[in-house]
Copies of this chain bind each other. A is one copy, B any other.
């Protein structure tokens, strides 16, 4: 091994990485900000961080507490408001932790810039009210402004690189458009005032690409999953991944379904009922948004267990749960000699607490990828997503193996 290698890893660890979150004052993003601050001050350990597991030790990923946090937000609410709300309504964090992290959170808050309402859903616009007007002349102008915000954040904070992660409210399923097929057509369409050719999530994706930053879509929204946008990213050698973070019920499904497949048990029905009370839940009251979410959640079972089971996924908004998500799944299956049997599980977790460390993981892994100069879909990160780009395997063990294999080989390939 060449003698300069440890230094290189060292330098990676000490390079300065920025994490730019879209929806920067939402529940998940605020918890990320608090988590980064807590890790920096030694007030939190790395429980919940996949990237802190031993197989990734040799990668010299950036220190999670060293991340500089910023982002776009369309609402007038701040990180500290969200943290306060999560503490009071959802019984998360201690007052002591929040108090000690407040100065850092204030510094992060200064990095937050207004987002765009171009391409936003009615639900988001209702949430926002008049707090942010669509000041941009066109989607193209919005993209330019958003990209400039990111570039300015990188410059001002002397960051080696910035990872952009989309965490804003779920959008309704976006209609397909012919302009989606080529970047040229898309550009022309985006230049028109009032154009609705792309949902907001895709505008942020383009802004990230224009700023030369990796883009990760942690929501079920469209984001980068548009041929023309991916074409643009590939031209710019920008890496990206999505979509819809796999944090709870779907994670359990993707872990559990192989039991039935590998025992040759025939799944007859798999019914899931999800209830939650946060902003995401509120957005899901819009049937079109709900459909987008359900489509993404419903992908894991049938490809793993085969056959044609009845699969149902419901999501309902139950305000009293606040940030807590409760999921009940009932699995009806047939065994030997046509005998019907069943299994059911209930998952009770805090959405923000489950998602936040994965966002930090994705920032660390994407920064690492960006540093290697590789563009394209980060397929090795499939295990973080309900509906991973370009990946057909939905069972968790295979996706986990993909992650390990990628870094085993990338490890040996390193100079």
Q: A47 within 8 Å of B by Cβ?
A: yes
Residue of B95, B266, B350 touching A47 (CB-CB under 8 A): B266
Q: Contacts A312-B316, A337-B93, A342-B348: A263 and B275 contacting too (C-beta < 8 A)?
A: no
Instruction: Indicate whether A409 reaches chain B with its CB closer than 8 angstroms.
Output: no
For A96, the chain B residues whose CB sits under 8 A away are: 95
User: Does A177 lie at the interface of the complex (its beta carbon under 8 Å from any beta carbon of B)?
Assistant: no
A339 to chain B, nearest CB (A): 4
**A38 contact set on B, CB distance < 8 A:** 337
Cα separation A334 to B339 with both chains bound (whole Å): 20
Given the complex of chains A and B, what is the CA–CA distance between A5 and B320 in angstroms? 43
A102 contacts the other chain (CB 8 A)? no
User: Whose C-beta in chain B lies nearest to the C-beta of A332?
Assistant: B320
CA distance A182 to B136 in the complex (A): 64
- Residues of chain B within 8 A (CB-CB) of A400 are 258, 262, 397
Question: Does A268 count as interface, using CB distance less than 8 angstroms?
Answer: yes
A59 within 8 A of B: no
Chain B residues, Cβ within 8 Å of A349: 335, 341-343
Instruction: List the B residue with the shortest CB-CB distance to A349.
Output: B341
A383 to B34, CA, bound (A): 42
- Which A21-43 residues have C-beta < 8 A from chain B? 31, 34-35, 38
Residues of B close to A53: CB separation below 8 A: 262, 264
Nearest CB in chain B: distance from A159 CB, A = 24
Any B CB within 8 A of the CB of A183: no
Residues of B within 8 A of A334 (CB): 47, 320
Q: How far is the CB of A385 from chain B (nearest CB, A)?
A: 14
Bound together, the chains give a CA A347 to CA B342 distance in angstroms of 6
Task: Indicate if the CB atoms of B321 and A332 lie closer than 8 Å.
Answer: yes
**B319 & A335 in contact (Cβ 8 Å cutoff):** no
Q: Which of B49, B94, B326 contacts A330 (CB 8 A)?
A: B326
Q: Which residues between 320 and 344 of chain A lie within 8 Å of chain B, taking CB atoms? A: 320-321, 326, 328, 330, 332, 334-344
Residues of chain B lying within 8 A (CB to CB) of residue A397: 258, 397, 400
Give the nearest-CB partner of A345 in chain B: B345
- Pairwise interchain contact A91-B93, C-beta atoms closer than 8 A: no
Please indicate the chain B residues that have their CB under 8 angstroms from the CB of A48 in the complex.
263-265, 335-337
State in angstroms the CA–CA spacing of A346 and B255 once bound together: 16
Chain B residues within an 8 Å CB radius of A31:
336-337
Bound-state CA distance A148–B345 (Å) is: 49
Copies of this chain assembled into the complex: 4
- Give Cα distance in the complex from A112 to B259, angstroms: 34
With both beta carbons as reference points, the residue of chain B lying nearest to A262 in the complex is identified as B400
Q: CA separation between A335 and B356, bound complex, in Å? A: 10
A262-B346 contact in complex given A320-B332, A336-B35, A337-B38, C-beta closer than 8 Å: no
Docked Cα-Cα span, A258 to B401, in Å, equals: 12
Whole-angstrom distance between the Cβ of A307 and the nearest chain B Cβ? 10
Asked if A273 and B328 make an inter-chain contact with CB atoms under 8 angstroms apart, the answer reads: yes
A319 to B269 Cα, complex, angstroms: 8
Q: Kindly state the separation between the CA atoms of A35 and B336 in the bound complex, as whole angstroms.
A: 8
What are 30 A-B interface contacts by the 8 Å CB criterion? Answer: A31-B337, A38-B337, A47-B334, A48-B264, A48-B336, A50-B264, A53-B262, A91-B91, A92-B337, A92-B339, A93-B337, A94-B95, A251-B259, A262-B396, A269-B275, A269-B320, A271-B273, A273-B314, A312-B318, A314-B314, A318-B332, A326-B342, A335-B349, A335-B353, A336-B356, A337-B356, A339-B353, A341-B353, A342-B348, A397-B400
